[in-house]
Amino acid sequence: ETGVTQTPRHLVMGMTNKKSLKCEQHLGHNAMYWYKQSAKKPLELMFVYNFKEQTENNSVPSRFSPECPNSSHLFLHLHTLQPEDSALYLCASSQDETSGRDTQYFGPGTRLTVL
């Protein structure tokens, strides 16, 4: 498999559930990103990892918890979410995060609905 993959593609959860989103990149990149895409709002950067180390937490609530066990895998653990957290969550990767000039490659996203 090539590129950036994300599972699941769709997720419906209640506010008291705990779930995790998974992202895997097969591009040999060192940097990985989580974005949130809500209807009628600009794309929001949530977290950045470079060589497995978190380098950015863009004021994201603690009910979102990222994990990066290695440069190829990125998780987003979800707990006690709110209905306004319903959105498309996109994962991306790039060769490294030291330069924004690097192209970021996106996965297909997970469509999350919080009831």
Give me the residues that bind other proteins (CB under 8 A), please: 4, 6, 31, 42-43, 45, 48, 50, 55-56, 90, 92, 94, 97-109
- Residue number, 79 or 106, with CB nearest to other proteins: 106
Measured CA to CA, the distance from residue 67 to residue 47 in angstroms comes to: 10
Q: CA Rg, the chain, in Å? A: 13
Residue closer to other proteins, measured from CB, 31 or 114:
31
Among residues 97, 92, 88, 101, the alpha carbon closest in space to that of 27 is found at: 92
Least separation in angstroms between residue 16's CB and other proteins is 28
Q: Cα-flanking dihedrals φ and ψ of residue 85, to 5°? A: -85, -5
Q: Give the shortest CB-97-to-other proteins separation in angstroms.
A: 4
